[in-house]
Structure 1
Amino acid sequence: MNYGPFKVILGLVFFVTTFSYSQAVIEDNQQLFNDFTYRQGSVYRTASGKPGPEYWQNSADYKIEATLDDQKQTITGKLSLMYTNNSPEDLDFVWLYLEQNRFTLNSRGTLTTPVEGNRYNGDVDGGYTISNLSAKVNKGVSTKSLINDTRMQVFFDEPLQGKGGKATISMDFVYKIPVKGMDRMGRLDTQNGTIYSIAQWYPRVAVFDDVVGWNVEPYLGAGEFYCDYGNYEYAITVPFDHIVVGSGELVNPEEVLTKTQRDRLNDASKSDKTVFIISPEEVGQKTTRLKNSGSSTWRFKMENTRDVAFASSKGFIWDAAKINLANGKKSLAQSVYPIESNGSNAWSRSTEYTKASIEYYSQTYFQYPYPTAINVASEVGGMEYPGVSFCSWKSTRDDLWGVTDHEFGHNWFPMIVGSNERRYAWMDEGFNTFINYYSTNAFNKGEYSSSNRPIRSIIRYLNWEHREGIDVYPDVSGSMNLAYVGYYKPAVGLIVLREYILGPERFDNAFQSYIKTWAYKHPQPNDFFNHMENVAGENLSWYWKGWFYGNKNIDIAVTDVKKETGGYSIILTNETDFPMPVLLNVTYADGSSEMIDLPVEIWQKGDQWAHFLPTSKIIQRVEFDPKKQVPDVNVLNDVWVNTEN
């Protein structure tokens, strides 16, 4: 083909086009709507936000025997775990977390704690002593390991084969139980005995995934956990006069509970009202124990869980009530707390709160999978583990409801939906704070209703010059910022997405589908973004970029209203680079009003938009976001008022 004439014509077109626009380049806002990360799918994770056809994750099954010594204040244990390598590659080693090593003088967490301290202060006289290590693959046995801070690398004599290879790792361990365990675990002295809240108490395997391989971020403080799923059998030996509660099912009640206590637990399993297992008057009484000396061993099991925790004390009040689930299934809400926490406005309502919280989330999002839900009054302000929560023994009224509801909400994020808390606090704390908003409004006909406060209350933070983005890792975030970037800002972002952008029906379909799709799996941020978009049917890149992966603010202004032939032009301005759909309430001089709903696409071509409203009436007032559903940082420009009429 002869391209000569075509080249001449093309050259003339280019010259004319270039000349015509050399003085006025049209700018648009396309960059605000483009994808902000590499969000294409793979065989492991699809573009629709689902696990791919070759998605895999490894698993670890644990058998643990541990003894709590209340004289030496130690935990001594024997651990045996079966690790299954479902990945497509062979492994020469595995990494384990030794999180008790955080409580040493030279740990990274201690050395990165500010001089003035913070919530994550911890004891510095603890840490693991590990012995009798054995790592078996087939016939090969290795005792080689390397410990660095809160990580332990265990080597194999021969590679652990991919696609189903199994290794058995065993070891003995001992450590001192910290008094101050970074507000996640520890010891509380009460008038009837010490309450031991025990977590991060055994060496556990780090996650090996298709995203970064081994997840080996050190345990510093704010960053929480990322765990594989598996089955647990664990036995806790304690002094004879202790009561132990733990994750999962107590499998030997006849060996540790009196007949009266077993009968009361049976009554509680059928009762919507709280039933005492050990009443306040019975605390410390010999009649509440099967033995008068020595020790007792409490045995528990839990299936398909990412962790287990427990609490032990001789000073517990203990009560319980049934949790009603779908299809006739039940669980058991329980609370243990000291005499100091008893009271009608305090912990005597804990089981009521626990029951209501779990029933709401089970009905609304995904059914609670565990046989028990136990709230422990503790020195810990609030911390969650599968089926067990540690909450402050001082909490009362709405504070006790709030912390109980929040910690049990974590059974959905990240216990069921197993995100990486150490990197993405917003995927568990933020999502959980979001569902807490609705459960609180629903509880007891709004007894502690939060109304619309989250939307408006965050604006002051958004205007703060030292604010940070949601995407900042929790251990990097400033201590003054973490509550906002990890909890409140992502929660507000989801409320806005549900109530203002998508609407409840579209949002709920997508959010519930996300939970069901990623239950007991490991979603990444892009999996959430992709899944929400595909189920809701909306490209939300502009929103993820603006709210979740940026630090910009929303400021939509009603700039002017101009009289035109046949109606009015309403002039809107986006004062920032954060586009939003625009909901307007137009009020006329005769007192009537109407709503105008403009899509986010009005901002694709620029930062100003004129909407023509045909009407013969006189406009008296135009207001953006009349229901105050958007965290707009400048409410002063949200309203235009006709001053001439």
Structure 2
Amino acid sequence: MRKLLALTALAILGIFPAFAQQSEQNHAERFEQLGTMLRTPNVYRTASGAPGHMYWQQQANYVINVELDDANQSIKGSEKVTYINNSPDQLTYLWVQLEENQRGADSDTPKAAESSFDSRMTLRNLEGLIWANEDFGYKVLEVKDAKGNPLPVTVNKTMMRIDLPTPLKAGDSFTFGVEWSFNIANRVGYISGRPGYEYFEGDDNYLYTMAEWFPRMAVYSDFDGWQNKQFLGSGEFALVFGNYEVNITVPADHMVGATGELQNASQVLSPTELNRWNQARKTYDAPVVIRTQDEATELEKSKSDAKKTWKFKAENVRDFAWTSSRKFIWDAMAVKQGGKEVMAMSYYAKEANPLWGQYSTRVVAHTIKSYSAHTFDYPYPTAISVEAANGMEYPMICFNYGRPDSDGTYSEAVKNGMIGVIIHEVGHNFFPMIVNSDERQWTWMDEGLNTFMQFMAEQEWDRNFPSRRGPAHKIVPYMKSASNTLEPIMTNSENIIQFGPNAYAKPATALNILRETVMGRELFDYAFKEYARRWMFKHPTPEDLFRTMEDASAVDLDWFWRGWFYGTEPVDIAIENVSLYKMNNQTPAERMAAMKAEADREEDYVSKEFNRRDVKETVIEANPSTRDFYTAYNPFTVTPEDEESYKKFMASLSPKEKELMESDLNFYEITFKNVGGLVMPIILEFQYADGTSEIDRIPVEIWRKNESEVTKVFVKKKEVTQIILDPKRETADIDETSNYWPPQYQPSRFELFKGNGAARGASTGSNPMKRANNNQ
């Protein structure tokens, strides 16, 4: 018969107050496999998350001619599109995206947007209310086949259906042409938005950022058919890969940057600029300025009546964007990546200096290196950052903000904001420009993944970079939001209330928690890189990401996707109770002494203290006849039988059992309450009486049998003085007041505000650089 070693509960060290009542169902669905919530694997997409052996995707090749009218802020263009049907399906019509119609007079965007009136309204507020009176949609739209014959089309808001004269069979292609024009909107005005112009009143010049500027093929896929959801503004783009030849005609004194590689540099650049460009292609340590600030400033003073056509080619891209202005300063440097040179470049007006000249192109180069290290080598020949007072991304080119004050000084917040947005928008080359997810349906698949990558790149740029999104504790305010303002990450882009926290911050935080806490860097990095490599230049879905991360790591993550991506529950785990148990290894004399001390304590109350003073003599004390055997009996006397029993017990112990009896171990029984509902690993820091500490990590599977409350015993050689749950704030726990034993005082929100200065990177008052310059 196996011997049982006795334990005695010496003290219950602390109990927290009761928390909000949990559901009576302790074992719900948090650990069930996602199963039918995911699309069924097939020959196109495997259960492993990889493309199937019959995977296919469409292709659309473009030849585009476009001319910018700088005097009237408009463009006109024509394009020839060759659409290749790689699907196994026969198509009777094609869908084309007309995003510019989102700014048209009949747009649904202002109609569907809520609006209200206040007693004090700015001019911009009023202009926003009358958007419907403006028309920046397509003015001319002619669609013809390759022979010039008109094609029947139906325009439905931001989508256009082209009815084919004969069905397009699998493996065949169809070529058609489109002519169009539209007025360019002021993107920094009341319409705002991604493309448009910015007007500089001081020198009477314009800076154009042309995006979503031409009719683009919609995606036809194995999982969704035609993706022809309307463009309302939030859900961005689902696009087809293809090759582009684009000829851009602009005033002769303009500088143009675009997706792809410039084909006629010797015709559009001056000899001096061409020489500098060739020098930049061999320079790796610092940017070479190709058009200087002095040269750009001189060009601002007069406007050329002549025209130049810039020719660009881009292969295997899903979109094309460009920028043009006579105000541009241009610098560039080469980056060695994947055995080839990538040109990192920046275009910016003098208003952006000195900040942009110092940082922009260097940040572009850093982003290419950082993202490539975590995914795949950057495959394109160029990467461009344009200062345009907004933030938006396209293949090989992006538009960013971060303008200093007019005197050239800037706050740290402006600098870090500029660096962060350049990393983010350049990083979008990887997600979704190459790993080409459907942004209109799943914003998080590009914004969330890219924000996670941005966080890593920011920290690789500066160890003290004030990253806003990524660290677990920074998502807590969103996770604590009212339930009616929350929706799962797996929500259509147009239906999200708190867009930034939901589509950017929460998925970025989730991935960071996966990397740092749930999976560990080695497993996560391998699996994430595998996903990126599997789906580069393809169209992944969420299932492909979820399955690949598990397939490449052997970590069951269905509980994580269910909680973080399909649910809205927060993380709130509490230390409910702590009890200390010690081995009962006392001798009979020690045991009796301890029992007597406890009995004396139990019977030592205040009334007895006063009675010793006020009761002169009790009956027992006064009358011997009231006494019996028990009056003098001492129940705590050690008997010979006690001594003999103890000796026999000790003699029967094996060496290992005797060692355990003499170990003086501390057994801490801790009960945890899942208040928030979202299950997570339990991370505990034990602080000891000798000043040392250690961290224990309990995997999330401890919640499998009871998702509401679990108890676990921790065996410690040392005496514990404090226990902290989630000490490094890894899990996004929304209530840290319940994370301490003994309970720890937490400053109130008001006191916390008084005790802290502004966060690093925050802009408060005048910037220190301006102040320092003024004091010189």
Alignment map for 1:509-524 (pairs within 5 Å): 509-524=526-541
Shift of 1:485: 0.4
Q: Does 1:476 align with 2:488?
A: no
Distance 2:475 2:127 in 1: 22
Instruction: Indicate conservation of the 8 Å contact 1:277/1:319, yes or no.
Output: yes
Match of 2:345 in 1: 334
Q: Secondary structure at the match of 1:416?
A: coil
Q: Secondary structure at the match of 1:458?
A: helix
- Find the partner of 1:371 among 373, 381, 384: 381
- Find the partner of 2:165 among 153, 157, 177: 157
Shift of 1:452: 8.9
Distance 2:127 2:702 in 1: 45
Instruction: Indicate conservation of the 8 Å contact 1:30/1:605, yes or no.
Output: no
Q: Does 1:258 align with 2:275?
A: no
Q: Secondary structure at the match of 2:79?
A: strand
Instruction: Indicate conservation of the 8 Å contact 1:325/1:363, yes or no.
Output: no
Shift of 1:47: 0.8
User: With structure 1 as the length reference, what TM-score do the two structures score?
Assistant: 0.90
Match of 2:573 in 1: 556
Q: Deviations over 1:319-359 (max 9, x none)?
A: 111122132x111111111111111x345421122111222
Alignment map for 1:262-341 (pairs within 5 Å): 262-271=274-283, 272-285=285-298, 293-327=305-339, 329-341=340-352
- Find the partner of 1:573 among 667, 670, 673: 673
User: Per the alignment, do residues 387 and 317 of structure 1 end up closer, same or farther by CA in structure 2, a change over 3 Å counting?
Assistant: same
Shift of 1:556: 1.3
Q: Secondary structure at the match of 2:471?
A: helix
Q: Deviations over 1:400-424 (max 9, x none)?
A: 1011111011111100100011111
Instruction: Indicate conservation of the 8 Å contact 2:59/2:84, yes or no.
Output: yes
Higher relative contact order (CA 8 A, sep 6+): 2
Match of 1:237 in 2: 249
Match of 1:111 in 2: 111
Q: Does 1:128 align with 2:141?
A: no
- Find the partner of 2:689 among 563, 583, 589: 589
Q: Does 1:146 align with 2:154?
A: yes
Counterpart residue type for residue 147 of structure 1: V
Distance 1:244 1:224 in 2: 25
Distance 2:343 2:249 in 1: 23
User: Per the alignment, do residues 303 and 339 of structure 1 end up closer, same or farther by CA in structure 2, a change over 3 Å counting?
Assistant: same
Match of 1:526 in 2: 543
Match of 1:32 in 2: 30
- Find the partner of 1:226 among 227, 232, 238: 238
Q: Secondary structure at the match of 1:622?
A: strand
User: Per the alignment, do residues 642 and 578 of structure 1 end up closer, same or farther by CA in structure 2, a change over 3 Å counting?
Assistant: closer
Q: Secondary structure at the match of 2:563?
A: helix
Counterpart residue type for residue 598 of structure 1: I
Shift of 1:110: 2.6
User: Per the alignment, do residues 451 and 341 of structure 1 end up closer, same or farther by CA in structure 2, a change over 3 Å counting?
Assistant: closer
Distance 1:326 1:555 in 2: 44
Instruction: Indicate conservation of the 8 Å contact 2:443/2:493, yes or no.
Output: yes
Distance 1:302 1:495 in 2: 34
Question: Is the deviation greater in 126-135 or in 366-375?
Answer: 126-135
Match of 1:8 in 2: none
Distance 1:537 1:118 in 2: 57
Alignment map for 1:459-470 (pairs within 5 Å): 459-465=476-482, 466-470=485-489
Q: Does 1:168 align with 2:193?
A: no
Q: Secondary structure at the match of 2:524?
A: helix
Match of 1:618 in 2: 719
Distance 1:620 1:253 in 2: 71
- Find the partner of 1:425 among 429, 443, 449: 443
Shift of 1:62: 0.5
Instruction: Indicate conservation of the 8 Å contact 2:297/2:350, yes or no.
Output: no
Counterpart residue type for residue 692 of structure 2: S
Shift of 1:365: 1.9
Match of 1:410 in 2: 428
Q: Does 1:188 align with 2:198?
A: yes
Match of 1:9 in 2: none
> Unaligned stretches of 5+ in structure 2?
1-23, 117-124, 405-413, 584-666, 745-776
Q: Secondary structure at the match of 1:399?
A: helix
Shift of 1:147: 0.4
Match of 2:391 in 1: 382
Q: Secondary structure at the match of 2:430?
A: helix
Shift of 1:542: 1.0
Instruction: Indicate conservation of the 8 Å contact 2:59/2:85, yes or no.
Output: yes
Match of 2:767 in 1: none
Distance 1:477 1:563 in 2: 48
Distance 2:538 2:128 in 1: 28
User: With structure 2 as the length reference, what TM-score do the two structures score?
Assistant: 0.75
Shift of 1:38: 2.8
Distance 2:679 2:568 in 1: 13
Q: Does 1:178 align with 2:185?
A: yes
Shift of 1:592: 3.1
- Find the partner of 1:599 among 676, 699, 724: 699
CA RMSD of superposed structures (Å): 2.5
User: Per the alignment, do residues 442 and 38 of structure 1 end up closer, same or farther by CA in structure 2, a change over 3 Å counting?
Assistant: closer
Q: Secondary structure at the match of 2:432?
A: helix
Match of 2:82 in 1: 82
Q: Secondary structure at the match of 2:567?
A: coil
Instruction: Indicate conservation of the 8 Å contact 1:622/1:640, yes or no.
Output: yes
User: Per the alignment, do residues 616 and 310 of structure 1 end up closer, same or farther by CA in structure 2, a change over 3 Å counting?
Assistant: closer
Counterpart residue type for residue 158 of structure 1: T
Instruction: Indicate conservation of the 8 Å contact 2:186/2:192, yes or no.
Output: no
Question: Is the deviation greater in 512-521 or in 465-474?
Answer: 465-474
Q: Secondary structure at the match of 1:511?
A: helix
Q: Secondary structure at the match of 1:128?
A: coil
Shift of 1:140: 11
User: Per the alignment, do residues 156 and 614 of structure 1 end up closer, same or farther by CA in structure 2, a change over 3 Å counting?
Assistant: same
Shift of 1:369: 1.6
Instruction: Indicate conservation of the 8 Å contact 2:671/2:709, yes or no.
Output: yes
Counterpart residue type for residue 275 of structure 1: V
Distance 2:716 2:416 in 1: 49
Larger Cα-atom Rg = 2
Question: Is the deviation greater in 189-198 or in 422-431?
Answer: 189-198
Aligned pairs, number: 609
Distance 2:464 2:270 in 1: 37
Shift of 1:292: 6.1
- Find the partner of 1:627 among 724, 728, 731: 728
User: Per the alignment, do residues 293 and 141 of structure 1 end up closer, same or farther by CA in structure 2, a change over 3 Å counting?
Assistant: closer
Match of 2:401 in 1: 392
Q: Secondary structure at the match of 1:50?
A: coil
User: Per the alignment, do residues 85 and 397 of structure 1 end up closer, same or farther by CA in structure 2, a change over 3 Å counting?
Assistant: same
Counterpart residue type for residue 571 of structure 1: T
Distance 1:556 1:88 in 2: 51
Question: Is the deviation greater in 80-89 or in 468-477?
Answer: 468-477
Match of 2:598 in 1: none
Q: Deviations over 1:230-286 (max 9, x none)?
A: 000000011111111101100011110111111101111222212111111111547
| Larger fraction in strand | 1
Instruction: Indicate conservation of the 8 Å contact 2:257/2:322, yes or no.
Output: yes
